[in-house]
Amino acid sequence: MNQSDFLYPKARYRGVVKPENLVFNANLQEFSQRVSYISCLESGGKLTPEESYQEIKSLWKQLKQSKRQLGIGKSEQQP
């Protein structure tokens, strides 16, 4: 195990294997990791609650945009 694996652990994907699902899963795991870091920084007094909120809000918007671009959650019957 190298330092990167320790700092940025990734869980194995167990859903329906499609490229867009794999990409979204990676984005979701990165979102989760970054929210955890922000939470720790806020708890440690390095970020204010407002800064933390704004950072997480920005990450959430990026994740939502990724979901839309990848077409995750759209019905299979839609073109």
Name the phi and psi angles at 40, rounded to 5: -65, -40
Q: Is residue 77 part of a domain?
A: no
Q: How confident is the model at residue 77 (pLDDT cuts 50, 70, 90)?
A: very low
Q: Is residue 1 part of a domain?
A: no
Q: Is residue 33 part of a domain?
A: yes
Mean pLDDT value of segment 33-42: 96
**pLDDT value at residue 79:** 47
pTM: 0.79
Q: Is residue 75 part of a domain?
A: no
Domain count, the chain: 1
List, for residues 2-27, the tens digit of each pLDDT value: 777 766 667 788 888 999 999 999 99
Q: Is residue 76 part of a domain?
A: no
Residue 59 predicted with pLDDT over 90: yes
Mean pLDDT value of segment 52-78: 89
Q: Which structural domain range is residue 63 located in?
A: 16-67
Q: Is residue 3 part of a domain?
A: no
Cα 49 to chain centroid distance, Å, stands at 20
